Structure 1
Amino acid sequence: MSTPTRRFALALLAGLCACSLAQAQGAWPSRPIRMIVPLAAGSAVDNAARIVVQKMGQNVGQSIVIDNRPGAAGLIGAGEVAKAAPDGYTLGGFNDSIMTMLPNMHAKMPWDIVKDFEPVSLVATVEWGLVVPTDAPEKSAADLVAVARKSPGQVNYGSGGNGSPQHIAMALFASQAGVQMKHVPYKGATQAAMGVAGKEVDAAFQGIATVSALVKGGKLRLIGVTTPKRMPQFPDVPTVSESGLPGFEFNSWFAIMAPAGTPKEVVQRLSAEVAKALADPEVRDKLNAQGLTPRGTTPEELGTAMRAQLAKYGALIKANNITAE
């Protein structure tokens, strides 16, 4: 084969390969997608994920299956996402504890949140509340602070594990109030909520999405919300800020991440599908009903917010001496 002929053949082959690759990418998704949620079923992120991905799946014509992998405050499940093939068929439904808190608490992380993942979209923020058993004497955040001051170290609180958002929220609450409280870690947020309902622990900060049904069903009492203003869903419940701890606010994220190396076209498509799902009035109503605020961002916006939050929580965790051990 002459040199010009060989060059033509190679060019033709390269063109065919590029065309095949483009067609393969353009065909995404051609099979079901798995979203690993490194948190327990029934948690705020899990509830939000199920609402949003159901609509996304309908829109893209493929099912998106939630795979709950709780444990180690999210480290294990997130690691599975990091190791997955970067083909757009394995995603992570993460909270900001996994993304911006845990990396500030472990000297040796099994993965790097910046290097091992591709940001897709901030889907929603989870609004939070302070809960106690229904027959507890505390009616407000101020009451809880008063009891904790009277009995240092005797009031205990549940969380979804060391370094979980529940842990961070209550540790910051105790620090700002100047009280000592005992931390009782559970395997997940749902278990911690049930621990309060069962009077195993005295209180907990929880995502409203996690405890809304328990509160409305009379299993838990909501004594404060961590939003700047009272929530429309619970207009009679004061904010923590107005009822004992001025300026205290806290919320958490539900964000979608993909393994590093996932094709940019797929990441952009996923982000667009999130935005499309969140534009659906029924989806927004379902999220709002569970205490979640729909967001939707570009991958670049999520990446910027994530890095800023990493720095913010790094400073807070260091100042309050919070560890994951």
Structure 2
Amino acid sequence: MQRRHFLAAGAAAIATPWSALAQSWPDQPVRWVVPYPAGGGTDVIARALAEALRPSLGQQVVVDNRPGAATNIGGDLVAHAKPDGYTVLSADNAILAFNEHLFGKLPFSPEKDFSYLGAIGRFPLALVVHPSFPAKTVQEFIAYAKANPGKVNYGSPGNGSPHHLAMELFKNRTGTFITHIPYRGMAPALQDVMGGQVPCMFLDLAGGLSVMQSGKVRVLAIGSAQRAPALPNVPTLAESGVRDTEVFAFQGVLGPAGLPEAIVSRFNGELNKALASPDVRKRAADFGMEVLPGTPAQFKAMARAEAKRWGPIIQAAGVKLD
């Protein structure tokens, strides 16, 4: 009996500081690092979440844009930050799944150097063509590409982007030879597809939904498992006969490794509440984003599964960024 009382008292003594830590954090502003320039989809969502988190955290959440090196600059900053809960990171496919395969050496390990705080959501990617392109369906597109090997170009925001790798996966699954034209960002790539200088690309709903709905590009298929609510008449790639080609850009929040579990749990709970707020829901719908509330463990499992899925595709395509 005495031993049970001793163990119970010890457990309470251990639990109390953790509970107190969760209640006292944060007592100063939280820096939210976005590894992209201001104004893009990742930045807009981060700012909406930062605003939604402010009342419940009782502190400002300040967005700090740190673009460059395929998001590795922002990732490196957060991976080596003090694990006190005051520096977090918007992370997407690049840090979570791609870069470990694209770079021979990274300044951090995606699996070991971060605390996974929670998923935000995912944006399906869609195969789009200029309205003058002769193909009106995915199967017509495949037939045209096979009849003109190497003569069909596709644009992307840059080497190693989800849009680039989505087309490499599509080529792998369909046996087509389509030539990559990398741009420095989404805007110039999309501008040239709308202008007809480049006939096609994979375009994410976050950056291109309004363009798709306006008819400035023709949407052949969506790369999600189900049809997108924002584009209900557009078939999925699977419905179009291209299996195992689910392609999307996804986002979540990371902190440096070693964050106290109490802070991880508190942040995750507040993030899930923020994802349910009307303003964030509206912005997500405007971007065609599916929000993904859940636990840190679920987020990490999804990220590691995506890293495993994309490794062979990147290797087969021979894509390297260093």
TM-score, normalised to structure 2's length? Answer: 0.84
Asked if the contact 1:44–1:207 (Cα under 8 Å) also holds between the matched residues in 2, the reply is no
Deviates more, 1:81-90 or 1:240-249: 240-249
Matched, 1:32 2:34: no
Quote the offset at 1:281 in angstroms: 4.2
Alpha-carbon spacing, 1:266–1:291, altered in 2? closer, same or farther (3 Å): same
**1:52-88 deviations in Å (ceiling 9; x for gaps):** 3321223323332333333332222222222333222
Alpha-carbon spacing, 1:67–1:82, altered in 2? closer, same or farther (3 Å): same
Tell me the residue number matched to 2:4. none
Deviates more, 1:33-42 or 1:88-97: 33-42
Match of 2:209 among 209, 212, 229: 212
Match of 1:95 among 89, 92, 97: 92
| Whole-angstrom distance in 1 between the partners of 2:141 and 2:160 | 22
Match of 1:224 among 204, 221, 225: 221
Tell me the residue number matched to 2:107. 110
Match of 1:142 among 133, 136, 139: 139
**1:232-276 deviations in Å (ceiling 9; x for gaps):** 211222222233524432223111001223332222211111111
**1:140-160 deviations in Å (ceiling 9; x for gaps):** 323332332222222222223
| Whole-angstrom distance in 1 between the partners of 2:91 and 2:81 | 15
Matched, 1:187 2:191: no
Tell me the residue number matched to 1:315. 312
Q: How does 1:161-180 map to 2 (within 5 A)?
A: 161-180=158-177
Match of 1:252 among 249, 253, 272: 249
Quote the offset at 1:103 in angstroms: 0.5
| Whole-angstrom distance in 2 between the partners of 1:28 and 1:92 | 17
What percent identity do the matched residue pairs reach? 35
- The one-letter amino acid of 2:30's match is I
Tell me the residue number matched to 2:293. 296
Secondary structure at the counterpart of residue 63 of structure 2: strand
Alpha-carbon spacing, 1:55–1:38, altered in 2? closer, same or farther (3 Å): same
Matched, 1:53 2:50: yes
Query: How many residues get paired?
Result: 308
| Whole-angstrom distance in 1 between the partners of 2:246 and 2:252 | 20
Tell me the residue number matched to 2:6. none
Asked if the contact 2:21–2:263 (Cα under 8 Å) also holds between the matched residues in 1, the reply is no
| Whole-angstrom distance in 2 between the partners of 1:84 and 1:190 | 32
TM-score, normalised to structure 1's length? Answer: 0.83
| Whole-angstrom distance in 2 between the partners of 1:248 and 1:108 | 28
| Whole-angstrom distance in 1 between the partners of 2:321 and 2:269 | 35
Alpha-carbon spacing, 1:136–1:41, altered in 2? closer, same or farther (3 Å): farther
**Unaligned 5+ residue runs, structure 1?**
1-14
- The one-letter amino acid of 1:302's match is F
Asked if the contact 1:47–1:209 (Cα under 8 Å) also holds between the matched residues in 2, the reply is no
Secondary structure at the counterpart of residue 115 of structure 1: coil
RMSD: 2.7
- The one-letter amino acid of 1:85's match is K
| Whole-angstrom distance in 2 between the partners of 1:285 and 1:295 | 14
Asked if the contact 1:99–1:113 (Cα under 8 Å) also holds between the matched residues in 2, the reply is yes
**Unaligned 5+ residue runs, structure 2?**
1-12
Deviates more, 1:44-53 or 1:153-162: 44-53
